[in-house]
Amino acid sequence: MNVMNVDYSTKIPNNVNLSEDRQVLKALEGWHPGYMDWWSDMGPEGFQQSLVYLRTAYSVDPRGWAKFDYVKMPDYRWGILLAPQEENRVIPFGENFGKPAWQEVPGEHRATLRRLIVIQGDTEPASVEQQRFLGKTAPSLYDLRNLFQVNVEEGRHLWAMVYLLQKYFGRDGREEADDLLRRRSGDADSPRMLGAFNEATPDWLSFFMFTYFTDRDGKMQLHSLAQSGFDPLSRTCRFMLTEEAHHMFVGETGISRVVQRTCEAMKAAGISDPEDIAKVRALGVIDLPTIQKKLNLHYSLSLDLFGSEVSTNAANAFNAGIKGRYKETAIEDDHRLQNSTYPVLKLIDGKVKRVDEPALTALNMRLRDDYTQDCAKGLLRWNKIIALAGYDIRLELPNVAFHRQIGEFKDINATPDGLLIDDATWNRRKGEWVPSADDGDFIASLMKPVTEAGEFASWISPPKVGIDNKPGDFEYVKIDT
Ligand SMILES: [Fe+2]
Ligand SMILES: [Fe+2]
C-alpha cells in the first residue's frame, strides 16, 4: 500500500497496513469499544449529535493531508497515521549515533521506551477531559469548532500511542493501553500522570492559555521523540506534530483576539490606564493584568512538565538513542555530548544563578530553554497589539523560579520578576500574580455561549480568517440536527 494515503476501508483508518497485521488489528478492535465509552463519558459534554465542520487526515503528505467536512464527533475516523519511512534513517544522537534506526524495540531499552510512550499517551486524553465542559460556554461557533477539532485530534493522538503499545510491547503494552482509558484528569484515586494535566480548564481564556503553553510543551516533547532511534515512534510523532500546530494556533490567535478586543474596548471608552481593572471589566472585557495572571499560571505549570533541570533519566534516554534534542539533526555538534556542558539555572545561596552542568544531564533544561524561546514569539505578537492600541503595558513571561512544583525551585517562593520571597509574603501577595477566586468569578461571568453563526462574545474579537477559508458567518457547528 502507498503509505501517503490512508486506508479507510477498515474500521480503523490507517497507513500501517493493518488489514495484514491481524494480531494488532484484533488488539485495536478490542480496545475500540472502551475508547468509545471513554469518549462518551469523558469527551465533550453535549454536542455529540451536532454536525461539526472538522478536518480529517486522509493522507500524510505535508502538502495536502486534511479534508474538511461536517461530521458528528462520535463518527470521527480516529486512525493510525505514521509519517513515511525515511530510507536508510540512522540514529541521530547518543551512543548509537550513526547506526541504523530500529524497526523493533531493542530489548535493553524496552522499559524506557514504554514509559515515555505511556507518559506521552496519558496527556492526550487528559486534555480532552480537562476541556470537556467548555462547549457549553463557547464564545462563537468558530471557537466551538476549534475546541472540538483539538479534542478529536487529541483522541487520535491517544490512538497513535496505543498502536505503538499494542504493536511493539506485547501483553504489558495492551495493559498500558487499557490503563490509559482508566486514569482520569483530576481524579483523587487515579489521576493523570503529569501535574498540569490534572488542573482544571474552567474557562475559555484558560483553554487558549492551555493550547498555547501546554500544547507547546507537547510540541517540544514530540520533537524530541521524533528524533528517536525507534523509528515507528519517530514517524508517529512527526505526523502528530502536523496536527499539533493547529492546537497552538488556536491558543495564539485566541489570546490575540482577547487582547485585541480588550484594547479596542478600552480605547473606545477612553480608558487611559489599562490597570484600572474595575473600569475595564465594566466594559465586559478581560483586563490585561488578569490576562497576565492567567499567563503566569499556565506558563509555570507547563515549565513543570519538563521535569528536573538535571536528570539522569534524560541523560540515559539520550545516550540510548531514544529521546533526542529539539531539532537534533539541525544542531552542529558531535550529538553525543560526552564532554560538553550546558548552563543550568540553580538556586545557590538564595539566588538564581547559572551553573555549567554536564550537557547530558542538563537535557531537560535545554529543552525547556528551547520551549521558552518558542513561547516568546506569541508575546511579541500580543504586545504588538497592545502597543498599536497605544497602551504602555506589556505581557511578560514570569521568571522560571516563579510558582514551581518541580525541579530546582520547588521549595522556594519567587515573584514573577524572580525575587525570592518568604511564605508569608507569597501567601499575602499571590493573588497579584496568579488568578484569584474573584478573577475566576469575573471571567466565569463572561462565559455565556454565543451560538449564532458569525456572532462573537463581548470579550473576544472575530478571527482574521475563517477555518478552511470559510466566510465570517459560516456555520461551523450545526448544533441542532
Ligand atoms: Fe496531542
Ligand atoms: Fe494538542
pLDDT tens for 403-418 read 999 999 999 999 999 9
- CA of 36 from ligand 1 middle (Å) equals 18
Helix (H, G, I), strand (E, B) or coil at 457: coil
**pTM assigned to the model:** 0.97
Q: State the distance from the centre of ligand 1 to the C-alpha of 219, rounded, in angstroms.
A: 8
CA of 150 to the centre of ligand 2 (A): 6
Q: How far is CA 463 from the centre of its chain?
A: 21
Q: Tell me how far apart the alpha carbons of residues 64 and 47 are, in angstroms, rounded to a whole number.
A: 29
| pLDDT at site 156 | 97
Q: How many CB atoms lie within 10 A of CB 189?
A: 6
CA of 105 to the centre of ligand 2 (A): 26
The grid coordinates listed for 376 are 516568546
Average pLDDT over residues 137-162: 98
DSSP 3-state assignment of 481? Answer: coil
Q: Residues 315-334: what's their mean pLDDT? A: 97
Distance, CA of 316 to CA of 464 (rounded, Å): 46
More confident residue, 75 or 59: 75
Cα(233) to ligand 1 centroid in Å equals: 14
CA of 244 to the centre of ligand 1 (A): 6
78-130 pLDDT, tens digit per residue, is: 999 999 999 999 999 999 999 999 999 999 999 999 999 999 999 999 999 99
pLDDT tier at 336, thresholds 50, 70, 90: very high
Q: What is the pLDDT of residue 2?
A: 67
Q: How far is ligand 1, taken at its centre, from the CA of residue 427, in Å?
A: 35
Query: How far away, in angstroms, is 434 Cα from ligand 2 center?
Result: 24
Eight-class DSSP state of 206: H
The pair phi, psi for residue 206, each rounded to 5°, is: -60, -40
Q: Distance, CA 197 to ligand 2 centroid (Å)?
A: 12
Q: Give residue 463 CA to ligand 2 midpoint distance, Å.
A: 20
Is the backbone of residue 390 left (phi > 0), alpha (psi -120 to 50) or beta?
A: left
The proportion of the chain whose per-residue pLDDT surpasses 70, expressed as a percent, equals: 100
Tally of CA atoms within 13 A in the half-sphere of 126 that contains its CB: 28
Tens of pLDDT, residues 430-446: 999 999 999 999 999 99
Ligand number with the minimum distance to the CA of 250: 2
Say whether 6 sits in a helix, a strand or coil: coil
DSSP label at residue 96:
T
Give the tens place of pLDDT for each residue, 252-269.
999 999 999 999 999 999
Q: Strand ranges (DSSP E) for 436-476?
A: none
